[in-house]
Amino acid sequence: MSPLHDALADYLQIRRALGYKLERAGKLLPQYLDYLDARGEQLVTIENALAWATLPAGDTNWWAFRMSVVRGFAAYLHAFDPAHEVPPKDLLPRQARRMTPYLYSEQEIQALMAAASSLSSPLRQATYRTLIGLLSVTGMRVGEAIRLDDRDVDLRHGVLTVRETKFGKNRELPLHRSTVDALRAYRRLRDRHQPTRVSDAVLISPAGTRLLYCNVSHTFVQLVERAGLQPRSARCRPTLHGMRHSFAVRTLLDWYRADVEVQPRLPLLSTYLGHVHPKDTYWYLTAAPELLELAAGRLERSQGNQR
């Protein structure tokens, strides 16, 4: 193993100890080092980093991501040996291309849950009804819902614990009584169909195993079609992650309509959603025209009172 490979192992270990998962970096950086080995190079340079990052044809944002992965490792190496060059941040910058969130109405969520009745087995039908309902009322990430174990759902106290989230933290979500009742009903049906458990997962497949993200995504596309939902534009399509957007926007709308102070409550919503940076929650303020209208109306009233 080359010195660079040894340095990479140390780099990944240190960053992961700080809470970074680095799943993609853990796959891409060994590929970069193999590329350097094939060229007979033992130093990170701007030239070879750029050549490697732009090897796949097509998406410039993917090039930018590959470059950012090298940049972090290069900065680590440079601290020990200045001969390693750190690619500048303005080299292959990422271009913001955030999709317009598809905000689901209550009727559309009900239509998706009803479409689950067309799936192949009673357990599969119940699993997807429960998954869609849970995403819509908690704003959880899909991966967080899939990772839920029975120990994470306290039906007695109506609390759900989300463990090992996107940023390695745990959080607790209070549940409405109707959600508790729905989860209890699902558990009864699940345990009746799978009396011998092969997984601790809350949501399971007909085989009793934990759901896979790729299978959930594929099934959701089928449910969207059967529910008759259509894209609102080329950049606004029904997605699983849209459930999370919809929850956040719906919460903000409820606060505005109740005429409560929204700004002081945003950190609460940020914590509930598992955001690390408040700016990720503030983004929702611009996600829906109705939100902008309510915010503008409140600002106008506030300025009128100051005159």
3-state secondary structure 172-239: EEECCHHHHHHHHHHHHHHHHHCCCCCCCECCECCCCCECCHHHHHHHHHHHHHHHCCCCCECCECCC
Given 166, 169, 218, 257, which residue is catalytic? 166
Q: Are 187 and 177 in contact (CB under 8 A)?
A: no
Phi, psi of 195 (to 5 degrees): -65, -30
Told to judge if 16 belongs to the known catalytic residues of this protein, a careful annotator would answer no
Domain ranges (residues) in the chain: 3-80, 99-307
Tens-digit pLDDT profile for residues 250-306: 888 888 888 888 778 888 888 888 887 767 777 666 666 666 566 556 555 555 554
Given 84, 244, 245, 250, which residue is catalytic? 244
Told to judge if 166 belongs to the known catalytic residues of this protein, a careful annotator would answer yes
Given 169, 218, 232, 241, which residue is catalytic? 241
Above 70 in pLDDT, residue 307? no
Average pLDDT on 180-194 reads 96
pTM: predicted TM-score of the whole model, two decimal places: 0.68
Told to judge if 241 belongs to the known catalytic residues of this protein, a careful annotator would answer yes
Given 66, 71, 84, 275, which residue is catalytic? 275
Per-residue pLDDT at 53: 92
Range 99-307 has CATH code 3.40.50.970:
no
- What is the C-alpha to C-alpha distance for residues 189 and 279, in angstroms, rounded to an integer? 41
Told to judge if 213 belongs to the known catalytic residues of this protein, a careful annotator would answer no
Angle at 286 between CA 107 and CA 218, to 5 degrees: 45
Contacts of 22 (CB under 8 A, 6+ apart): 12, 15, 16
